[in-house]
């Protein structure tokens, strides 16, 4: 959850000029500070870090958690200035056994990413999921949402506001990483959580770990032509031309086998 986008650090390092003060990230080598507190309101999660997992037990569990990441001058904002990395999150987890062979699981996590003024990755997000296990089968649905902060007009010049909001007909630096992703799937358990297969269908709108943008963001050797032509009958555009919610909704299907030795 949360955290600094990999491309932000990569870009900052690539533009690092040691002879130019302030051009490199973490110039004073400040460490990253992380912290997490998890409180069991009902029941106990002792002995495991499988948040959101099915627990195969008789007693209910309700827990709340708080987490934070902070590092000074660890990123550059949309205009090349050093900025602090700040990520904060809060979550609620519910596991409610119905019988020995059935249980309801629900989890909601809200987070705030602060990666500097005008950054596409500065904003508020939420991830929610609910599933129900019938013996060895567990259907579930989930929804991921992220919305960037609007431009901080009070601290930007007119030229920076134009870059932040975007020129007519283009996206700006902000809101270019927004996402609205819906997921529905089935878990098939062979040996509880130690050995199970996950089948998941997704509707990906905006930034996603799957679909055409995953290829682009994964530094592949090519850029997929994922968008409709700008002009009817013309060539298809690359996925990098437009991003976020300006893209159509893409569908994906995931098959994941999890086996712990």
Residue with tokens 């300006």: 246
- Torsion-angle region of 229 (φ positive above 0: left; ψ -120 to 50: alpha; else: beta): beta
Domain total in the chain: 1
Average pLDDT over residues 210-223: 66
Assess if residue 1 is contained within a domain: no
Contact (Cβ atoms closer than 8 angstroms) between residue 50 and residue 18: no
Assess if residue 108 is contained within a domain: yes
The residues near 221 (Cβ < 8 Å, ≥ 6 apart) are: none
User: What strands lie across the sheet with 195-206, from one edge to the other?
Assistant: 33-42, 61-76, 82-99, 102-114, 123-134, 137-148, 179-189, 195-206, 250-259
Express each pLDDT in 235-260 by its tens digit.
877 766 656 787 778 888 999 999 98
Question: From CA 223, how far away is CA 237, in angstroms rounded?
Answer: 10
Q: How many CB atoms lie within 10 A of CB 107?
A: 20
The predicted pLDDT at position 162 comes to: 85
Assess if residue 210 is contained within a domain: yes
Q: And the tokens for 195?
A: 């050995």
Question: From CA 77, how far away is CA 212, in angstroms rounded?
Answer: 26
Contact (Cβ atoms closer than 8 angstroms) between residue 224 and residue 243: no
The predicted pLDDT at position 48 comes to: 57
Q: And the tokens for 196?
A: 């199970």
Q: How far is CA 248 from CA 89, 218, 226, 231, in A?
A: 29, 20, 9, 16
Question: From CA 211, how far away is CA 253, in angstroms rounded?
Answer: 9
Q: If we measure between CA atoms, which residue out of 185, 214, 209, 211 comes closest to residue 197?
A: 185
Burial code of 139-152, b = ≥16 C-beta within 10 A, e = fewer? Answer: ebebbbbbbbbebb
pTM of this prediction? Answer: 0.80
Question: From CA 116, how far away is CA 118, in angstroms rounded?
Answer: 6
The predicted pLDDT at position 224 comes to: 73
To the nearest whole percent, how much of the chain has pLDDT over 90?
Answer: 38
The predicted pLDDT at position 170 comes to: 67
- Torsion-angle region of 2 (φ positive above 0: left; ψ -120 to 50: alpha; else: beta): left
Express each pLDDT in 123-155 by its tens digit.
999 999 999 999 999 999 999 999 999 888 777
Express each pLDDT in 46-84 by its tens digit.
665 555 678 888 889 999 999 999 999 888 888 878 889
User: What is the domain extent for residue 143?
Assistant: 6-259
Confidence class of residue 193 from pLDDT cuts 50, 70 and 90? confident
In the predicted structure, residue 2 carries a pLDDT above the cut 50: no
Assess if residue 35 is contained within a domain: yes
The predicted pLDDT at position 186 comes to: 96
The predicted pLDDT at position 248 comes to: 78
Average pLDDT over residues 182-206: 93
In the predicted structure, residue 1 carries a pLDDT above the cut 50: no
Express each pLDDT in 81-128 by its tens digit.
888 999 999 999 999 998 888 999 999 999 999 988 888 889 999 999
The predicted pLDDT at position 10 comes to: 39
Assess if residue 87 is contained within a domain: yes
Bridge partners (DSSP) of residue 67 are: 36, 89
Assess if residue 229 is contained within a domain: yes
Average pLDDT over residues 21-35: 80
Question: From CA 208, how far away is CA 216, in angstroms rounded?
Answer: 11
Across all residues in the chain, what is the average pLDDT?
82
- pLDDT, greater one: 9 or 74: 74
């Amino acid at each position: 959850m949360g955290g600094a986008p990999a491309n932000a650090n990569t870009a900052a390092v690539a533009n690092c000029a040691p002879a130019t003060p302030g051009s490199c990230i973490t110039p004073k080598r400040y460490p990253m500070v992380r912290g997490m507190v998890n409180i069991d309101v009902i029941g106990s999660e002792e002995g495991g870090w499988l948040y959101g997992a099915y627990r195969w037990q008789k007693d209910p569990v309700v827990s709340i958690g708080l987490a934070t990441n902070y590092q000074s001058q660890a990123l550059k904002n949309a205009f090349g200035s050093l900025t602090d990395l700040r990520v904060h999150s809060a979550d609620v987890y519910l596991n409610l056994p119905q019988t020995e062979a059935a249980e309801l699981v629900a989890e909601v996590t809200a987070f705030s990413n602060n990666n500097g003024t005008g950054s596409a990755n500065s904003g508020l997000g939420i991830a929610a999921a609910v599933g129900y296990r019938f013996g060895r089968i567990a259907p579930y649905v989930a929804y991921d949402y992220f919305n960037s902060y609007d431009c901080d007009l009070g601290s930007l010049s007119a030229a920076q506001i134009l870059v932040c909001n975007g020129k007519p007909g283009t996206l700006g630096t902000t809101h270019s990483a927004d996402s609205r992703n819906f997921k529905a799937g089935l878990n098939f358990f062979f040996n509880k959580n130690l050995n199970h297969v996950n089948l998941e269908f997704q509707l990906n709108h905006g930034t996603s770990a799957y679909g055409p943008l995953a290829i682009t963001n994964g530094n592949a050797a090519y850029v997929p032509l994922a968008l409709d032509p700008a002009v009817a009958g013309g060539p298809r555009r690359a996925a990098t031309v437009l991003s976020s919610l300006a893209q159509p909704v893409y569908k994906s299907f995931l098959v994941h086998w999890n086996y712990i030795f």
